[in-house]
């Protein structure tokens, strides 16, 4: 049976069937893979609890406080860069758009 026949039989696309065939040839199985990223959380459980405690006692704590305090895994996202960006730079960039 070729990939086209298998895809018609199963009602799947040819690329999906091809992916599964390649995975089987490389790994010997087609078990489902987790879609969860390796680092699913940007902060640790302790940091998260500390943040909850701070918000419970001081609900108007600025987001910048947390952005500066917590060390994040990996490269900073655009949102994280925007949060920690110099306010003057942010104002100038906003005026340009």
Q: How many domains does the chain have?
A: 2
Give the three-class secondary structure for 41. coil
Asked if residue 74 and residue 51 are part of one domain, the reply reads: yes
Of the candidate ranges 15-29, 30-44, 49-63, the one whose mean pLDDT is the lowest: 30-44
Q: Is residue 90 part of a domain?
A: yes
CA dihedral for 75, 82, 52, 37, sign (positive or negative)? negative
Asked if residue 86 and residue 54 are part of one domain, the reply reads: yes
Q: Is residue 37 part of a domain?
A: no
Asked if residue 49 and residue 90 are part of one domain, the reply reads: yes
Q: Tell me: the pLDDT tens digits for 40-95?
A: 566 778 888 888 898 899 888 887 777 777 655 445 555 556 566 666 766 676 67
Q: How confident is residue 4, by pLDDT bands cut at 50, 70 and 90?
A: very high
Asked if residue 92 and residue 61 are part of one domain, the reply reads: yes
Domain of residue 86 covers 45-96
Asked if residue 53 and residue 17 are part of one domain, the reply reads: no
Asked if residue 57 and residue 25 are part of one domain, the reply reads: no
Of the candidates 57, 73, 74, 55, the one whose C-alpha atom is nearest the C-alpha of residue 65 is 55
Q: Is residue 38 part of a domain?
A: no
């Amino acid at each position: 049976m070729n990939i086209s026949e298998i895809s018609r039989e199963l009602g799947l696309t040819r690329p999906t069937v091809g992916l599964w065939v390649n995975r089987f040839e490389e790994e010997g199985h087609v078990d489902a893979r987790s879609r969860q990223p390796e680092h699913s959380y940007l902060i640790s459980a302790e940091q998260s609890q500390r943040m909850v405690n701070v918000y419970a006692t001081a609900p108007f704590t600025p987001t910048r406080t947390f952005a500066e305090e917590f060390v994040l895994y990996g490269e900073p996202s655009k949102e994280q860069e925007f949060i920690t960006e110099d306010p003057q730079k942010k104002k100038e960039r906003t005026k340009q758009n």
